[in-house]
Every structure is written in C-alpha cells, then in structure tokens.
Structure 1
Amino acid sequence: MPNERGVRMTDGRTTGSARAFELLEPLVQAATVRVHAPPGGYENPRSHRTGPTWGSGFFVAPGWVLTCAHVVGEGGAAVRLTGREVGITFSAGSVTGTVTGRVECVLPDRLEQRRPAPHALWDLPDLALVRVLAPVTHACVWLTDRSRPRFDEVAYFGCTEDLGAPEITGRTTRLRGTAGNGAAIRLGDDDEIEPGMSGGPVVDLARGEVVGVLKARRRSGGGGVAVSVVQLRTLPMAARGQVGLYRRIMQAHDLYHYDQHLSDLDNRRTWTDVHGELPPEEGDPYAGRGRLTPGERTTLCGLLAALPPPGSSEVVRALVEAARGEEPDPLPPAPLSWRDGLGLLHDPPGGTAEAAAMLRYATDVSVAEYREPATPGADEELWDWVRATAERLWRPLRRELGERHERGLAERERRRRASAGRAVYEPARRSGALPTGASVLLEVWAHGWEDVYDWRVSVLAGPAHAGRLTPVDSGVRATLAGLPEALRVPLAEGFRRCDTHETVALLEVAVAPALFGLAVDEWVVVGGVPLGVQRPVVLRHPAGSGPGTARPAAPNPGGAREHPADREGTEGSARWARVRTGPLQDERADCVGGRPRTPATEWLTGLPDNTVPVHCRAADQEPTLGSLHAVRDAGYGVVVTRRPPPDPAVSCAPFHRGLREELADAGRAEVLPERLQHLRGRAYGADPDAYWAAGTGLVWEDPARPLPDEEPLQGDL
C-alpha cells in the first residue's frame, strides 16, 4: 500500500514523489548556489573568506543566477542594488568554487527608490538577476514554460547549516495556492524553511521543472511564500532594435539544455534524461501518449531558441490561438518568447492531443515573419524536425502540417512582395504615423456618485481585427490620486503585450470629457520616465451612453461603438478624411482673446473640414466641458485640449501660438500623436521652446480603431 506521500515500495525502489525527488535532487543541488559578500568582503578585498550566508540562488542560464532582491539587498536601505557585487559559491562535480557576480537587474525597479522597513516583506516580485563576472562551468536548472503552477507536491532547495557548515539541502511540501495576482505561490507547512534558503528554487516534482523562487517563511511553524519564475517576464523591455534581457536569458537557457541533450561527451544524467524517468502523472488523460517526449520537447525549445525572437507578444498569442483552437489564457504576464507560446499549449481543449497543437505552432513559427533575418537554414531546420516528429503520430496530421506549411510559405512570400520597394525589415508604415498593431486601452469611469473611480486595462486589436478587446486587469473604487499606483502594474503588462521591437504601442485613454484633464501622460510606469515621453498617449470618448455620445442608427455587426466620423458619407467621416491628410487649421473653441466662450452649434458645424478645435481651459468646467461634447457631436475626430497652469493669470497666448506653428509644421493629423510625444520629450528634457506644450492632450477618434460597444460594469451593487 502507498503511504501518505504516495510512495510504494516495489522491488526495493521508491516510486511516486519520493522517486522524483531522488532523481531531481542531484540536478537541482548542482545548480543551486550560496549568495554572500564578494570574496574578501568590502573591507578586506585581498581575503578569500566569504563571510556569512545572505541567502541562496540558482543558475538559470550560463553565467546568470536568479535570486531574491532582498537577498542581494543585505546591508540595508543605503545599499544600491543594481550594480552591486556579490559572492556566488557553487559546486561543479566534486569541486566547490566561488566567483564574483554583479546585480544586473532587480524587480520591481522601484526598490532602488523605496525599500521596506527592516524585517518587512519586500514588494513582489522581489527578484534579482546576477551576472557572473568570470567564465565558469556550472549546471543550470530547467525552468517551467507554464504561466500557472499546478497545486501538487514540490521540493524546495537552499543553503542551510544544520551540521555546522553551509550546504545545499532540499525538503518537500505542497503548493497551497497563489497570491498577488499569481505572482506569489503559497507553500504548505509540511517542513520548515530555514534561514539562508531565501532565493532557492522550488521544483514541481511531477513535471521536473522549477516553478518558483523561495521568498519568505511564516513567523511560526512551517511553510511560506515563493515567487513564480514566470515573473521574469516582467523584466524591463528592450530599447528599440535590441533584444530584451528576458529573451536573452531564456534563449541561453534553452540552448544550454539542447546542447546537454545532444552531447555524448559524458554519461551524467541531464534534465531531459530525468524527465524521461519521472513517474507518470496521475490523471494524465494521454498516459504519456499524445505528448512530445522529453527529448522532443528539449529539441523543439532549442530550435525555437535558434530563431530571432518574435516581434511582439501579440504575435505569439495569435499563433497560439491558431494552433490551440481557442484564445489563450489572457492573464498576465504576457508571453514574450517562442518558448512561452509552448507553455500556453499544454492540455488543449476538447481532448486535442498536446503534441499536435505544439507541432502546428512550430509549423507556423517556421514560416513567421521574424524581427530580424534568421540564421540561414534555421527555419528550415525547425520545419524538418516538425515533419520528422510527425512521422510517429498519424497520417492526417502529417498531411495537415504539410498543407499548413505551404500556406505559410505562400503568405510570407506575398508579404515580402508587398513590401517591395522598401527594406525587407523596415517598418511598413508612413513616417510619423501611428503603428497599425494593437494598442493599450485604459478606461476610467466614476463609481456612482462617489468621488472614487473604477478602471479597466485592455489590449485593443489593430485595424485588422477592429473592435476586438482582450482584458488585462480591472479594479474599483480608486481615488484620482491613487490611480497612478493602482494602474502601474496593469499598464506595464499591457505594454509588454503590445510593444514591438520596432515601436512602442499607443496608449488610448477612454474617459468622460470631464476627465480629459487626467494627467496620464505624466504618470511613471516603468523606467522612471513619464508615459507621455515614452509613447504616444491620446484621449478617447468612452464607449456607452453619455452626454454627446452619438449612438449608431442601426446595430453594428462588428460590436464596436461608433463615432460620428465612423460612418461613411457623413460630415464626421468627411472631417476625418480631410484632417488626416491636411493641411490643418486650428480654431479656438472655448476662448476668444483669452476670455471664455461657449461655441454655437451652427458655428462649429460650419467650420472647414480640416479644422482642429482647440481648448485651453479646464475640461471639467464650463464652457470647456460643453464645448468638448459639442465638437464631438459635430463630428470632429481630432481635438486638442490642455490642463491649464495652476495660476489663472497666466496667458494662454503662448500655447495657442506654439500649437498653431506645430499644426502648420505637421501638415497632417496622422502624425500628431507622435509629434506630441516628441514635444513632451523636449519639455521633459528642459527645452524652454517646448514648455508651452505642458499639459497638452489630443483627442483621437480613429474610425479604424473603434471601441467595443460594451459598457464597463459600474461597480458592485
């Protein structure tokens, strides 16, 4: 009979989770390290003594150690984390070595400015990446590709001193749930987490993969909290044209295990070998059949790592949806690499074989457009592997994959012919115009009559899938002052999904006109730079009813809310077409000579189609509030607003003069969002000639980007 651990003695050998622990323990111990002061310490650099243990960590790729930020923060609030040198002691076979590492990045990045009080929990995800400063030979763990852990038995490892000397040991427990919107994993109290184990790996015993990083233990008894390794995807995005740190590390991780799998230089067990020896999972509907073998999975990850990374997260999600047959899990964090897409293909719906879904996905990746030219033959090698692997499955799938590959090649050739006349990897859009891909949509609305607000962040598909909305996160009852902090993480996740290697995504802020003064462009989300400097930010009228909201006369089959400019043949559509191509003519809507005025409807409708109405006064007060509704009803899709300076005695003349020159220089409206971003950047960089643009907002009702005809819920009853 099995005991409470599910272990049955059979011919003297353990089975179940105990057997999995026996198999995985040597691999995990070989990759787990002790973190301490640099060799010699800061006060005696010539000494080779390492001093007390700060915590643990583990190699995730050659030369890279993952640990907790609070581990490398040993020493208090005065210590700068990024760039700090630490000591790393590790084992290579029977030899123990010590090397210096440098902290490359910490998460969240605000830990550099705001540290918790002594003995308090550090903010999630509380992670640090350490780059080893010398070439050393070491082992690496196998990281999970799944977005969510399975609540089953795990083992955790770290540095302990039970016998008086530091050593890497492991214990077992079960996962009990998640916290922090999935960023944290709760560990059961089956065993105790010792001091010094923080930063060590948490391993899923059934699947043989690292799912978490030990963070904290409970004050009394056993158990504690770990951080999901998937939070590595929240590493800062790369600058334009560069490969991000997350993609670099995961590429190195997959190529390391691929090389280990193919090598015949020694007979030591690899992670791939052990994956093939793990006991079968209970309740596996495939009983091992219908899944890729461990060797096939390692090979596929290696072949995907040899390709250039995807252009954006949305590219990965689209290919996953095509292979899986349904939209993938929208919960954060977003998939950033080809490997992350595989993690969304486990256990596909309707009993579909997992291997078939992964082979469809790999086929589509082999004919995808990459962000840069692939190494010659890399995409063909992936397709050759797909075709060979399908041989062990069934004939209809082999035929389907072949047809899928042919269609993909034809489509790629069509796209390349369409791009003739420009560089192959040059962005296919007009200079200064907005990107045609997905954008991030922020909606904020009043919570009833109270002075608090509900919000929602979504990904709004581009014109190719007009009106399609993918939720990211939502919240209720936030104050205006609390909105920037409440929205910091959801907005960062939205940008990760939509930003590409060529350009940053547009942020569309859909609020009632009374909230057009919301200073979203001044919020800081990542990188310490205001949003309006990092990317184009525009205002939208919200979906649903409200003053000045024109509803379509007939049902809209696309399910998207119309603006008067959306309907062909209307005055609004004529205005949009005219203002988009220019030239532009500004017209003061809410003031004359610096004094407020209320524009007449007849006057607004009689202005030329290339007019851009300009507002210089507070949006939540009359006459500006009424004017904003009136210009929308008159069909104007491009409108300028401004948050006036605190001193009401300051003249608006410099603003109107600077804006007139800017509109004349722009020539056409389609470049205004990016030109306004550039103006904000100049003002942020202390250019006095751009100070007039402070607080400027742009209302941008692009008919090609309709908002879904779906009103957000108005809070709880």
Structure 2
Amino acid sequence: MSEGNDRLYELARAATVHLLPARGAGTPLWGSGFFVAPGWVLTAAHVLRPHLAQDTGTVFRVRGDGVDAEARLEQWLLTDARRTPVPLEEDLALVRLAGEPEEQHHECVWLGDRAVRHSGVLKVCGYYPGPPETHFRIVDAEINGHEDRHGLIIKPDIDFPSGVSGGPLLDPETGAVVGLIKSRRKQQDGGKAVAISALRRFGRTYRTVMAAHDRWHGGEPQSPAGDNWIDLQGGPPAGGGEQWTPADRREALRLLAELPPPPDAPTVELLAKKARSHNQWPGGTPALLTWRDGAGLLYEGARPLEALTFLRYLRYVELYTSSRGGDATALGHWIGVRLRREPRRAMHDFVRDAHLPEALHPAPGGGPGRIVIPYPGPGEGGTVAVLLDPVIGARPARFFWQIWYDDGHGEPELHEADGSRHGHDPAALVQAMRGPLGALLRAKDQEGRPVPLEVALPGEYFDTAVHRWRFDDIAELNDAGHLGARRQVVLRALERRGDPDKLWSERWQAMAAQQGFSGWRTAAQGDFPGVNGYRGAAFDRIPVMCRPAGRGPGRTAMRLALQSGHGVALWHVDGHSSGACPASCDTLYARAEELLGTLGSLAELPDLIRHVRQEVSELRADRAWAEPVALLYDDPRRPLPSEEGGTLDAPL
C-alpha cells in the first residue's frame, strides 16, 4: 500500500459518517453515509426508511470524524416507501445537517465528472456496529458485474455487516468515490452497490449539491494532515500544457459551478459534441443536468482528452452564458490563462475561433415567443420517433410500439421497445408509453425548442389523433397539455421505413426548394386525382382533404399520394367519409390555403401548425377549424429505421 493511497484513505475516513437516532445512549447505528458537499450527506435510502417512513421530517444524528450534528432528510428517490426490497436506482437519500454550511467544517469526498460504472478493485468504507463500539473500517473489494442501469455487483470474497450500508466505494486508481454500498448478498459473501451516476436522478437538488461540491474542492481545502483529494489523484504534471490535469479539472469545475445552470440536456450534449468535433463518446449518453456533466463526456475510457478539447467546451459554455446575459468573465479569463500554457500555438484558434451553433443562438426579441422554428433536416437537430406496428390478425386493432431517437448526425438509436406479448389497443397506447416517451422528450427538449415528435403508422391508421395525446394528468392552468400544442407533432408512413424510393426523394427535394405554397383540394365531392394527377402535381401544391385518411375515398386518396412520392399532406381526422361536402369543408380549405400561403419554406409547416394548435387551446374561435387537422411530414432524408425480422403476429 503506497503512502499516497494511505493519505487518500485517510481523507475517505474523514468524510465517512454513520447515522443513528437523535437521542439515546448506546443506540445502534442505522447505517453509514458520506459528505459530498458542506452540510450534505449521501446515504442509502433503505438505511433511513425504517425510521422515517412514517415521518420524513424526523430529526436524527450524523456522527463522524469531528462531526456530531442533528440532521434531516432532504430528499430520497423512493417512489413507494413500502416497497421491498428497494430498487437499486431508488436506493439513494440526501441528508442535510442542521445549521449553515459555512459554519460546518468537515471533509468531503471527490466525485468525478464521468457518469460511468466502475469495474475492478476498490475500497469499501463504512462504520461497523461493534462490539465493543461503532468503529470505521476500510476493506478491499472488487466490482465484477453490473445490474440494471446503476447497479454494481461486488465480488463474493468479502463479508461486511449491515452497518456499512450507505458507505462510499473509493476507486484508488482515480481517487474518486464511484458508488455507495446497498446491501450484502443473502447467504453468501459480497454484495451490491449503487453507482454514483444515480445521484443525477435527484434533478435540481443534484445541481445544487454538485455546485457546492465543486466550489468546496475548488477552494483547495486542506485536511489536518495538509492533504486534498486533487493532489492525491496523480495524473500528468501541471507543467505539461497539452494534457488535462486534475488541477485543471478542479478549477474548470469550480468556475462552471458559478454560472447559471444549462437550460436543458440537449444544449449540454450539443456543446460537448462540438468540442469533440462531433466524434461520439463511447457508450450511451447519460443524464446531463449541469455543465460539469458535459465535461464528463470528454474522455476516452478513464483518460481525459487533450486540454484543447476541454478548453473548447469551456469556450462554448462561456459564449452560451454570455449570449443569455450571464456573467462568464472569470471563466473566459481562466480559459485565456490556461491556453497560454498550451505549447501548440498553431492550435489555439481551435479554442479562440469557437462560435455557437446556429441552433443555440438566442431567439429574436430576447425570447422564444411565437417565432417559427424550422423542422430539422439532416444535421440540424434531433427528433423522437414512435413506430406503431399493428399486430397482424388482431381485431380490433392493437399495436406494438418502439421509441427511437435521431440526433441528426447518424443512425437513429432505439430508446425503448414494447415488452408486452399482445400489444396495446389505441386507447391504452399513451399510458403504456407515458414513462419512457415522456422521459425521453423531457431529456431532449431545449429551452424554447421542444424536440419534434414523429409518429409512424400504416396509412390506414392515419386518423389516429396523436396531436391530441397528453402525458400529464395534472397540468398548470396556462399549460396547453396536449402534445400538438407543446411541440411539433407529425405523422409518417410506416410502410416507407428504410431506404426511400426515387419518386419520394425527388419530390421532396423539389418541394424543399420552393418558397411559396398553396393548398390542393383533393378527394372533393368523392372525386380524387388518379396516379397521374398526383405524380404530375406542381411541387408547390400540398394535398388537403376534408375527409379522414383511413377510410372511404380519403384512404384511396392517401394511398395514391404516398405511392406517387408525396411527403406532405393535411387532412381532417374526423371528417366525412362519403357524400357531398358540407359548408364547413369550404372553411377548412380556405383557412388551410391562407395558412400555407404564409410559409417561407416547407420546413416551417410543422411549427406553424403547432402555433395554430396552441391558439386552439387558447380558445381562439378563428382557429377551431385546425383542431381536427393532422399533418403528414415524411422527410426521406431522415428515413425511419428499417424493419428487422418479420411481421408481428397476434399470439395464439
């Protein structure tokens, strides 16, 4: 055991505590925990649950090296305090000490900026119940497996009693705490732990805690022995300007903690990608709640990329913050100072010449307002797609679902797929997808720019009113609630998945070059253009139907339009399927014509429809015509994922 490791373990011991009742001599400890910021203790939720389930405001005690203070639960991740055992991803709790943080003097562990799950050797730290008295121990362990999204499996060659639950797992290699103990294995050695990346599930509280963590470590706190976590992490020498050192990281994270937090995860993700010159990081993209989380994407394995990449990311954050009226002067000054240590002078422009991507420029007028946002083409932004496959032979119709995300810079990624055996009827689809789809939409929404939603269905189901879906049972009074009023919602033809055909691609290219559009009244009075009529239609004409697209003449008309390469159309999902058109149809066509006449480009149509739907929700009487209108916007440049395997048959 090296001297450096001994000193690191002393810091871990100083930051580890145990939790116990507020009063009573000789009372047994509940479990362990550790300081992650001044006044903030992280522990396992199951340690507190037996004592706080009836009253989460119960006062208890935190005791450790030089600390003996009252504390309360600030937040835990439990969704049901009666559920046993506690799921891995919910077994975290944050505790606040009584009193002001600046009055509290104690050690805090170091938490890295990477959201990864550790493998290999580490140290388990925690308090043991004795006898004769509670005492601290640190023992060797090894992670040899993972479970679910945040679980770590401890190799079965160590036995530890229950008191260590909630204690930290220290990685001697990186000098960071990478998880906390959850439980022993039943009837065998070893156990389970929760990766520290699960801390991000605290949302806004995570932002608060990590800002306090980075400010505390950024002040170079000293233990009584004169040590601090950064100096004991090793890494390249501070004089080597090409490499990103632990000291660089500490100062950068301290400066980022002083800035207003990012508005959303896509902003952080986009700036990290720009810093990496659009070279994707290994693995999936974790939750991105802070600017420090973006810095955690600038690694290859445990090795940080070169200093220029980090400085370029910091420059983007500086530009973004300044463009929104924030003060990033201190960050900008440090970037300049650090850049002067970089010996490759010719490369300095890689940082200095960085500029915000167009998607992150502030909206005109200082806010999003009713500015029309063009629908993203390839390389212009992300989209979320829901693919609804009808179960063959099911009557009435049932669907299996898949949720995909396309960032615009490569192949779409499958986010989650239906795990049911029989699919879902249309009325149950929203409930079935509410969790995974709602979470993905919230994760990818940018400030003032909600991510577009594409729903792909076979043409005969185009009258599914997806723009009326809502995921929130309870909404604010000024919240429209329905998807179509919140974001761009478009339909796509499921039968077109995979490589686009020539007719479709050529018509789309020609329409995208147009700057003015008009409505084309199809399927009027039961009559509709033939194949030649659709193929020969002018590129500035968009089919509009007062009939549903899934039955009667409207279904025939939509089938011919798709076969003839049309990628854009409007129709009335509740319209009449046969007979003469009532007077309301004339209103629909006139209003649609008026709307299409305001387009400056084809890409403006989905957001223009969203504005109209929002005005419908605001009870604008002149917009009521648009409430039942659906939009086909099927861009062949961003094809749906190809179908894998055969058709989905109804189980016997």
Q: 1: distance between equivalents of 2:404 and 2:163?
A: 39
Native 8 Å contact 2:570 2:629 kept in 1: no
Q: 1: distance between equivalents of 2:323 and 2:198?
A: 24
1:97 CA drift (Å): 1.0
Match of 2:284, SS? coil
Q: Which moved more, 1:607-616 or 1:55-64?
A: 607-616
1:96 CA drift (Å): 1.0
Please give the TM-score of this superposition, normalised by the length of structure 1: 0.69
Task: Tell me if 1:100 matches 2:72.
Answer: yes
Q: 5 Å matches for 1:421-500?
A: 422-423=364-365, 426-427=367-368, 431-433=371-373, 438-444=381-387, 446=389, 449=392, 453=400, 455-461=402-408, 468-471=410-413, 473-475=415-417, 478=420, 479-481=422-424, 491=437, 494-495=440-441, 498-500=444-446
Return the match for 1:300 from 252, 263, 276: 252
Q: 2: distance between equivalents of 1:520 and 1:430?
A: 19
Q: 2: distance between equivalents of 1:372 and 1:231?
A: 30
| Structure 1 residues 533-574: Cα deviation after superposition (integer angstroms, max 9, x where no partner) | 65443222348469xx96126xxxxxxxx5565222xxx558
Partner of 2:232: 274
Q: 5 Å matches for 1:74-223?
A: 74=50, 84-87=56-59, 89-91=61-63, 93-103=65-75, 106=77, 111=79, 115=80, 118-122=83-87, 124-130=89-95, 134-136=99-101, 137=104, 138-163=106-131, 169-180=137-148, 182-223=149-190
Q: 2: distance between equivalents of 1:352 and 1:210?
A: 18
**Partner letter of residue 174 of structure 1?**
E
1:270 CA drift (Å): 2.1
Q: 1: distance between equivalents of 2:616 and 2:201?
A: 26
Native 8 Å contact 1:30 1:93 kept in 2: yes
| Structure 1 residues 169-228: Cα deviation after superposition (integer angstroms, max 9, x where no partner) | 444311112222x42222222223533544433222211212223333322212232222
Q: 2: distance between equivalents of 1:216 and 1:530?
A: 43
Native 8 Å contact 1:363 1:404 kept in 2: no
Residue segments in structure 1 that go unaligned for 5+ positions in a row: 1-13, 40-46, 237-243, 554-561
Return the match for 1:698 from 608, 618, 631: 631
Native 8 Å contact 1:156 1:203 kept in 2: yes
Q: 2: distance between equivalents of 1:612 and 1:374?
A: 47
Q: 2: distance between equivalents of 1:130 and 1:656?
A: 62
Partner of 1:252: 212
Q: 2: distance between equivalents of 1:79 and 1:268?
A: 43
Q: 5 Å matches for 1:383-422?
A: 383-390=335-342, 395=343, 397-401=344-348, 403-408=349-354, 411=355, 422=364
Match of 1:177, SS? strand
Q: 2: distance between equivalents of 1:653 and 1:101?
A: 64
Q: 2: distance between equivalents of 1:79 and 1:679?
A: 46
Q: 2: distance between equivalents of 1:91 and 1:514?
A: 66
1:257 CA drift (Å): 0.9
Q: 1: distance between equivalents of 2:569 and 2:645?
A: 28
Q: 1: distance between equivalents of 2:131 and 2:607?
A: 68
1:639 CA drift (Å): 2.2
Native 8 Å contact 1:310 1:371 kept in 2: no
Q: Which moved more, 1:665-674 or 1:211-220?
A: 665-674
Residue segments in structure 2 that go unaligned for 5+ positions in a row: 476-480, 599-604
Native 8 Å contact 2:272 2:294 kept in 1: yes
Native 8 Å contact 1:330 1:470 kept in 2: no
Please give the TM-score of this superposition, normalised by the length of structure 2: 0.75
1:66 CA drift (Å): 3.5
1:335 CA drift (Å): 3.5
Q: 1: distance between equivalents of 2:586 and 2:42?
A: 54
1:664 CA drift (Å): 8.5
Match of 1:331, SS? coil
- CA gap 1:484/1:671 in 2 versus in 1, 3 angstroms: closer
- CA gap 1:346/1:175 in 2 versus in 1, 3 angstroms: same
Q: 2: distance between equivalents of 1:254 and 1:201?
A: 18
Task: Tell me if 1:566 matches 2:550.
Answer: no
| Structure 1 residues 94-141: Cα deviation after superposition (integer angstroms, max 9, x where no partner) | 2411122332x637xxx2xxx386533436344444555642414332
Partner of 2:11: 27
Match of 2:131, SS? coil
Task: Tell me if 1:61 matches 2:51.
Answer: no
- CA gap 1:72/1:359 in 2 versus in 1, 3 angstroms: same
- CA gap 1:675/1:289 in 2 versus in 1, 3 angstroms: closer
1:70 CA drift (Å): 4.3
Partner of 2:601: none
Q: 2: distance between equivalents of 1:64 and 1:431?
A: 43
Q: 2: distance between equivalents of 1:460 and 1:492?
A: 17
Native 8 Å contact 1:175 1:186 kept in 2: yes
Match of 1:150, SS? coil
- CA gap 1:49/1:540 in 2 versus in 1, 3 angstroms: farther
- CA gap 1:61/1:640 in 2 versus in 1, 3 angstroms: farther
Partner of 1:15: 2
Match of 2:300, SS? coil
Task: Give the fraction of aligned pairs with identical amino acids, expressed as a percent.
Answer: 24
Native 8 Å contact 1:314 1:498 kept in 2: yes
**Partner letter of residue 510 of structure 1?**
A
1:674 CA drift (Å): 2.6
Q: 5 Å matches for 1:334-345?
A: 334-345=287-298
1:699 CA drift (Å): 2.7
Partner of 1:7: none
Native 8 Å contact 2:484 2:610 kept in 1: no
Partner of 1:639: 570
Q: 1: distance between equivalents of 2:316 and 2:123?
A: 36
| Structure 1 residues 390-410: Cα deviation after superposition (integer angstroms, max 9, x where no partner) | 2xxxx3x24312x223322xx
Native 8 Å contact 2:156 2:191 kept in 1: yes
Q: 5 Å matches for 1:289-328?
A: 291-310=243-262, 312-324=264-276, 326-328=279-281
Native 8 Å contact 2:89 2:198 kept in 1: no
